């Protein structure tokens, strides 16, 4: 077997140049994932990101559920771009559903997507809102046309490659370009064939690629966060991808790989429907009794 040595299955960060610190409520659907240690003396850590899909469902990456042996995912923090702000608050997670076909392969993880159900229903306001989901697969000609789409990756990950640096307290945004499937496969295949001439790389329909300018990318701490598409005509954001994996250097020397959200729409919508019905039944029970 061959390994894809340049790919590493770790949380991502927005790399150290050309990122932008966002305003307090520029991305009100963003959620920081809060992990608690089995040792009560250890402070909670924010190790991944996600997006709000409904009043009680958050979307993230499946590898964010299992990559941290000493820490367990317990809550989400929402409400403000600045995590230390008094306006941000935490909500407990009561159900975690990773995709049943999530797995690690020799060319990266696949079906890297998960859903979280919150204990309490969120009240939407300018600081807390759900993000839009695409209704169907978006053609590559649209995603790669900068006159139609602007693609952005957003997160609280590290903003410097220095190992001693902590995650960013303020939400960061990076403009990033969609990479067509054929081009992405070709770039990764060239890397593989340096060690195995017969190696091939297939992106699969469930994955997509995007790439920043040199020395920029998503990396440690940004896993599970969104690849956003801003429709320039309507100024509406859609979550089209979930940050999954990329290079060790996090420098866009090769494209980053994202879970393609449109391939999982039935699974997502079914979970949202089930979670919504539970809230409706609870409200009805409270009204009756």
CB 116 within 8 A of CB 95: yes
Give the whole-angstrom CA distance, residue 156 versus residue 242.
Answer: 14
Whether 252 is catalytic is no
Q: Which two tokens stand for residue 258?
A: 């994202």
Give the whole-angstrom CA distance, residue 196 versus residue 18.
Answer: 35
Give the whole-angstrom CA distance, residue 39 versus residue 225.
Answer: 27
How would DSSP label each residue in 41-70? TSPPEEEEEEEE-SSSEEEE-GGGGTS-TT
Catalytic residue among 112, 217, 222, 251: 112
Q: Which two tokens stand for residue 207?
A: 């994955």
Catalytic residue among 63, 149, 168, 252: 63
What is the Rg, in whole angstroms, of the alpha carbon atoms belonging to the chain?
Answer: 19
Catalytic residue among 54, 149, 206, 223: 223
Whether 168 is catalytic is no
Give the whole-angstrom CA distance, residue 32 versus residue 34.
Answer: 6
CB 101 within 8 A of CB 267: no
DSSP 254: S
Whether 38 is catalytic is no
Cross-strand partners of 255: none
Give the whole-angstrom CA distance, residue 217 versus residue 159.
Answer: 10
Strand 172-179, strand 57-60: pairing: unpaired
Q: Which two tokens stand for residue 39?
A: 């040792």
* Catalytic sites, residue numbers: 63, 112, 223
């Amino acid at each position: 077997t061959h390994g894809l040595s340049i790919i590493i299955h770790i949380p991502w960060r927005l790399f150290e140049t050309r990122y932008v610190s966002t305003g307090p409520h520029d991305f009100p659907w963003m959620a920081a994932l809060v992990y608690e240690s089995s040792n009560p003396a250890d402070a909670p850590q924010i190790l991944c990101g996600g997006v709000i899909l409904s009043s009680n469902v958050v979307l993230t990456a499946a590898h964010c559920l299992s990559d941290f042996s000493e820490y367990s995912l317990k809550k989400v923090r929402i409400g403000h771009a600045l995590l230390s702000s008094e306006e941000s608050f935490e909500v407990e997670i009561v159900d975690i559903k990773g995709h049943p076909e999530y797995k690690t392969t020799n060319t990266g993880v696949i079906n890297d997507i998960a859903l979280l159900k919150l204990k309490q229903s969120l009240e939407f306001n300018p600081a807390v809102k759900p993000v839009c989901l695409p209704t169907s697969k978006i053609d590559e000609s649209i995603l790669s046309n900068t006159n139609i789409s602007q693609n952005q990756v957003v997160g609280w990950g590290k903003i410097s490659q220095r190992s001693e640096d902590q995650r960013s307290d303020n939400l960061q945004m990076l403009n990033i370009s969609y990479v067509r499937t054929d081009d992405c496969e070709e770039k990764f295949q060239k890397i593989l064939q340096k060690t195995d001439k017969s190696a091939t790389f297939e992106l699969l329909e469930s994955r997509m690629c995007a790439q920043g300018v040199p020395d920029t990318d998503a990396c440690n701490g940004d896993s599970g966060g969104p690849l956003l598409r801003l429709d320039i005509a309507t100024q509406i954001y859609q979550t089209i991808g979930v940050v999954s994996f990329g290079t060790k250097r996090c420098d866009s020397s090769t494209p980053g790989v994202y879970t393609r959200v449109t391939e999982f729409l039935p699974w997502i919508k079914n979970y949202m429907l089930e979670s919504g019905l539970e809230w409706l039944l609870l409200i009805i029970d409270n009204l009756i009794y």
